[in-house]
Structure 1
Amino acid sequence: MGKDDYNTTVQAGSDYRPIGEDHNEATPLLAQGVASRGASLTSSVFNLMNAIMGAGILGLAYAMANTGIIGFSILLLLVSSLAAYSIHLLLKLCDQTGITSYEGLGHKAYQKPGKILVASTILIQNVGAMATYMFILKSELPATITSFLSPGTSGEWYENGNYLLLLVTLCVVLPLAILPKIGFLGYTSSLAFLFMLFFAVVVVVKSWSIPCPIPLNLTLSLMSNASDSECTPKLFVISSKSAYAVPTMAFSFLCHTAVLPIYCELHRPTKQRMQKVTNISISLSFLVYLISALFGYLTFYDNVNSELLLGYDAYLPRDVLIMSVRLAILLAVLLTIPLIHFPARKAVLMMFRGERSFSWLSHSLSTLLLLAVVLLLAIYVPDIRNVFGVVGSTTSTCLLFVYPGIFYLKVGTNPPRSASSAGAFTLVVFGVIVGLLSLCVIIISWAQNP
């Protein structure tokens, strides 16, 4: 069998098993020998939630301020539902074809150009995400560590973000990223989710600690004319800044590059079990996102910062709980980097090595190269809101909406006028419109306010 013959067999150790059109979704994707060593459903849920939830949670309160409570809730529900549906389409294609990689689906649909396109998109998206997270660590970690120490300390090595970035990369990111299987990250992913949950709880608790209107002597020039009208929550808001909302949400719900690797390592990997993992992960992430965005907005209203935690610095300086939650978020971001590194490395290996067997040399070299590139890019990452907007409107919307729909229309076995095909077409149209409009508005806003 040639390495490109994806549609009739699937490899499980040294065994091959045919998958035809009558393949039952309760039938394991892989042979029992591999499934017995697979990750548990709980571990897979934590890994997928860790892939979903990251630094995007810091920008959602800002998105709510620019769309309104009801507008934001509708958009968040829409994006999360479409994310779950696009994963459903990917899993159906895997079930029908036996292909277990995003790049493989691109090859199946459009041969080598499709494979290169998907791999390049995954690489750009994940390298951009890792660079963004590294930038957050570089800019926030020194201040967070200093806040726990004596205010008089200065000139210490830990106040240099570049030193800290290099240290955490070598001591934490590299050892986790170089692991051969993504399932090994289940424990760190559960810890990262607990950190995110802690963040949501603190946002709720602190919503009663900051008065509104905020006293002028505490605003540090962030607010000029305080009034009771500014403490009235808005249900619907439409402005040029609203263009950042959907891209930020798309960036926040993008987990598609990690779905298939998690699927492959799932214990008894069936479409039904993986869909359960997806539904649980997206539902829990939706709740945490909505709660943190709502109470973050109800704390600062129109004065909410594009990175929520920055707002608390001005109004609750040296608050122990805020300092603790900032450290928790940074640790969650740190533990997310190895998880999104896996699909990026896989994309590199798929482009340059194809479907060859595992090699520690290639695995290690690609890991070191990617981390080196990300470390260099972290120095030049612009404002976090701009990163979310640009990445979300381009690569995120492609991976989240466009590619699953296109691949399903091209490869899927359902007739063109079926409900699934109509849903796939709608997904493509929605992704293209959202991506183009958001990108255009963001570029125009940059031109007006350089």
Structure 2
Amino acid sequence: MCSQCCLGDTAVILKVASVHLISYEQEEGGERLHENFLSDHQLGKKKYEAEYVSGWSGLRGFIRYCRFTHINLTVPVFQSPGSASFGMSVFNLGNAIMGSGILGLSYAMANTGIAMFVILLVAVAIFSLYSLRSVLLCSLVYEQLGYKAFGIPGKLAASCSITMQNFGAMASYLYIVKYELPIVIKAFLDSNDNSWYTNGDYLVLIVTMAIILPLSLLKNLGYLGYTSGFSLLCMVFFLIVVIYKKFQIPCQLPENFINITVNVSQPQVNTTDEECCKPKYFVFNSQTVYAVPILTFAFVCHPAILPMYEELKDRSRRKMQNVANVSFLGMFVMYLLAALFGYLTFNEAVEPELLHTYSKVYNFDVVLLIVRFAVLTAVTLTVPVVLFPIRTSVNQLLGASKEFSWPRHICITVALLVCVNILVIFVPTIRDIFGFIGASAAAMLIFILPSAFYIKLVKKESMKSVQKMGATLFLIVGFMVMIGSMALIIADWIHNAGSSGEHADGH
């Protein structure tokens, strides 16, 4: 691994060809070395890119190599100092948590009621924090956790879950382009003309080919990492506007808007204006099954937790857990406020994508136009960053031992973008993306994989211990959430398909 070593009084110089390690932790009674082999590009990092090769990590790798081969080396072991402060780590983790899921939370509240939504939001947040703790205790990247616990099947399960989650994130970002860009263009043109240049399907293809594809073809997208921070700021601005608009939009919405929107999302409900203005605390209908998947989709950040842990200054598991606690508390407050004020504004008439619902009330509004433009810019620039780890995963699967190949690089990128565009064009609503990915990949990443890894890898605790019993219960709950949600969502799809067929025959 080391091509040259030079020990002096004050310096140790190492030339390292490839080092993938990192994690030292101070414990009571001494210092323990803990392996953490990180791949070149972390898979599944939502809006988070970093490189983990440094001189100190090379030194530790060389010392570890010498110890393994019984070479006597009287050089102290140095801990690689992280550069991220507590506050910056909280912000970075908030970036990883926050995504397009916030736009669907008002819809989830409309179909569960305020009280039930708060209960579910608290439960998912607590479960997510608990699973983060399990990942930190194992201190390995998700793919390596899967391999160490269950071999190749475990690694594939982790890799596929992360890839699906990122693919769903890409699809949700392009859905926002499909929904919002036509509204922005119509506002600038001051026209309601339904020409091809205001067709969402065409615009998604144009944005993909003109902006996303060229950026995605670059070998290194590190300079786009700042877009995650911009995206978070856009969502904060969006939240402020949602709260502000609640006090501007009257409860008595236009009758045709209420009828059309309610009939689309809840065809079995007959709603009057008076009922629409009264918030409900407990609701159960055919759309309630999407609530938990939407919430799990909104809270996934687990693949990014260990890369952030490695950059934390004076890192320890307790400190990283505190970072997670503060970040989740901040996101919990933002999610609750966005869902609550969005729901109170439109009540049962809220759409699966909250920002699009405002277009039914305002033909042109400067503040909302600024929000739309900022969100569109953020999500468009974020798609290449989210695509990057998926392509790396596929590339390693197809030819990990091969040198970089432009034809392979281009083919994988184009294939991924073609697939996600087909999904966005033909799947009718963003709700289906939130629901399916939240019920499958997000449930795996939050509930199932962390508990399974903890049960398998933490040998020092017996299965009768409180921790192992809790992890087992968590695993069972995860399977129940995933299987139950998927079954109900598929049943809803079948029911809607049957209803559409009946309406078509009737007309």
Task: Say yes or no: TM over 0.5.
Answer: yes
Q: How does 1:379-418 map to 2 (within 5 A)?
A: 379-381=422-424, 382=427, 383-413=429-459, 414-418=461-465
**Who is 1:252 aligned against?**
298
Matched, 1:283 2:324: no
1:379 match: secondary structure: helix
How far 1:344 moved relative to its partner?
Answer: 2.4
Name the stretch that deviates more: 219-228 or 52-61. 219-228
The separation in 1 between residues aligned to 2:346 and 2:488, in whole angstroms, is 25
% of aligned pairs identical? 38
Name the stretch that deviates more: 13-22 or 328-337. 13-22
Q: In 1, are the aligned partners of 2:24 and 2:32 still within 8 Å (CA)?
A: no
Aligned pair in 2 of structure 1 residues 225, 327: CA closer, same or farther (>3 Å)?
Answer: same
**Who is 1:93 aligned against?**
138
Deviation by residue 1:87-121 (Cα, 9 ceiling, x = unmatched): 11001101xxxx3x211000100112211222122
Greater C-alpha Rg: 2
Deviation by residue 1:320-339 (Cα, 9 ceiling, x = unmatched): 11122122222332344344
Matched, 1:208 2:247: yes
Task: Give 5+ residue unaligned stretches, structure 2.
Answer: 2-15, 37-53, 58-79, 263-269, 498-507
1:240 match: secondary structure: coil
Matched, 1:189 2:228: yes
Name the stretch that deviates more: 148-157 or 382-391. 148-157
Matched, 1:144 2:187: no
The separation in 2 between residues aligned to 1:62 and 1:18, in whole angstroms, is 41
Q: What one-letter code is carried by the residue in structure 2 that aligns with 1:198?
A: F
How far 1:376 moved relative to its partner?
Answer: 3.7
Q: How does 1:48-447 map to 2 (within 5 A)?
A: 48-94=93-139, 99=140, 101-151=141-191, 160-161=202-203, 162-170=205-213, 178-179=219-220, 187-216=226-255, 219=258, 221-222=260-261, 226-348=272-394, 351-352=397-398, 361=404, 366=409, 369-370=412-413, 372-381=415-424, 382=427, 383-413=429-459, 414-447=461-494
The separation in 2 between residues aligned to 1:152 and 1:140, in whole angstroms, is 14
Q: What one-letter code is carried by the residue in structure 2 that aligns with 1:69?
A: I
- Between 1 and 2, higher relative CO (CA 8 Å, sep ≥ 6) is seen in 1
2:247 match: secondary structure: coil
Q: In 2, are the aligned partners of 1:137 and 1:165 still within 8 Å (CA)?
A: no
Q: What one-letter code is carried by the residue in structure 2 that aligns with 1:169?
A: I
The separation in 2 between residues aligned to 1:265 and 1:47, in whole angstroms, is 10
Q: What one-letter code is carried by the residue in structure 2 that aligns with 1:88?
A: R
Corresponding pairs, count:
429
Name the stretch that deviates more: 404-413 or 30-39. 30-39
How far 1:352 moved relative to its partner?
Answer: 4.8
How far 1:146 moved relative to its partner?
Answer: 3.8
Matched, 1:46 2:86: no
Q: What one-letter code is carried by the residue in structure 2 that aligns with 1:199?
A: F
Deviation by residue 1:328-373 (Cα, 9 ceiling, x = unmatched): 222332344344335424533554566x7xx982699558724641
Q: In 2, are the aligned partners of 1:57 and 1:289 still within 8 Å (CA)?
A: yes
Deviation by residue 1:386-408 (Cα, 9 ceiling, x = unmatched): 11111111111011110100010
Q: What one-letter code is carried by the residue in structure 1 that aligns with 2:252?
A: P
The separation in 2 between residues aligned to 1:18 and 1:140, in whole angstroms, is 43
Aligned pair in 2 of structure 1 residues 244, 51: CA closer, same or farther (>3 Å)?
Answer: same
How far 1:443 moved relative to its partner?
Answer: 1.1
Deviation by residue 1:62-110 (Cα, 9 ceiling, x = unmatched): 100111111101101110111111111001101xxxx3x2110001001
Q: What one-letter code is carried by the residue in structure 1 that aligns with 2:168?
A: G
How far 1:313 moved relative to its partner?
Answer: 0.8
Q: What one-letter code is carried by the residue in structure 2 that aligns with 1:395?
A: A
Aligned pair in 2 of structure 1 residues 222, 214: CA closer, same or farther (>3 Å)?
Answer: same
Q: What one-letter code is carried by the residue in structure 2 that aligns with 1:104?
A: Q
Aligned pair in 2 of structure 1 residues 377, 65: CA closer, same or farther (>3 Å)?
Answer: same
Task: Give 5+ residue unaligned stretches, structure 1.
Answer: 2-10
RMSD: 3.5
Q: What one-letter code is carried by the residue in structure 1 that aligns with 2:444?
A: C
Deviation by residue 1:279-333 (Cα, 9 ceiling, x = unmatched): 2322221111110000000001111111112221111221111122122222332
The separation in 2 between residues aligned to 1:365 and 1:280, in whole angstroms, is 42
The separation in 2 between residues aligned to 1:310 and 1:107, in whole angstroms, is 42
The separation in 2 between residues aligned to 1:322 and 1:16, in whole angstroms, is 46
Q: In 1, are the aligned partners of 2:261 and 2:351 still within 8 Å (CA)?
A: no
The separation in 1 between residues aligned to 2:85 and 2:405, in whole angstroms, is 28
Name the stretch that deviates more: 84-93 or 336-345. 336-345
